[in-house]
Chain A
Amino acid sequence: EDQVTQSPEALRLQEGESSSLNCSYTVSGLRGLFWYRQDPGKGPEFLFTLYSAGEEKEKERLKATLTKKESFLHITAPKPEDSATYLCAVEDQFYFGTGTSLTVIP
């Protein structure tokens, strides 16, 4: 059965404390892996798409990487405005993970 698992479920960081979020997947034929940011009560906001192992993409303090079994979202020197739930989704059919709720404390 295809699955997408994100860890940790919740993460609290001090401002400036870098960390990584994990998205593990087991799908038979990955056609793309997506990262989104979701603020409370709002729809997801697109961040990145990764297509093949070894691919990396960056945007401001965020960097996404992809291997054959998982993806990482690295957050460098986070700020309070980075607080949100970060979702990954995989395209075989289309499955979202349950997300990591990130809180950055000033």
Chain B
Amino acid sequence: GAVVSQHPSWVICKSGTSVKIECRSLDFQATTMFWYRQFPKQSLMLMATSNEGSKATYEQGVEKDKFLINHASLTLSTLTVTSAHPEDSSFYICSASTGKGYNEQFFGPGTRLTVL
């Protein structure tokens, strides 16, 4: 149980285009979903927290207009990187939780984004 999937697992796009990444909780309903970014040899950085049906809460320094998050249902959250640039290339990981805190997070396998 407690499986979280992400799609796509990797994506390559041209600079200036937008990319959508999906995060799904497959066998449970996720009250809260989190989005992280991980650069090579660095740790995960929390980007935003989203609760179903409400606006996402972004961490300081994360551009909300660039990283659009939609948590449309209890099993699906999407992250859209708008007008992507090479510096947005990273490993994006989502997690899902049945609670409102950071405990009991189940992580997805991640999405590798490369912007050319």
Contact = CB atoms under 8 A, between A and B. Distances in A.
**Same complex origin of A and B:** yes
A98 B42 CA distance: 6
B103 interface: yes
A43 B4 contact: yes
A95 B45 CA distance: 7
B95 interface: yes
Interface residues of B, number: 22
Interface in B65-116: 93, 95, 101-110, 112
Provide the main secondary structure of the chain A interface: strand
Q: Counting chain B CB atoms within 10 Å of each CB, which of A43, A87, A95, A99 scores highest?
A: A43
A55 interface: no
B43 A32 contact: no
A98 B105 CA distance: 18
A7 B44 CA distance: 16
Interface string B32-57: 00001000011111100000000000
Interface of B: 4, 36, 41-46, 59, 93, 95, 101-110, 112
Interface of A: 31-32, 34, 36, 41-46, 49, 87, 89, 91, 93-99
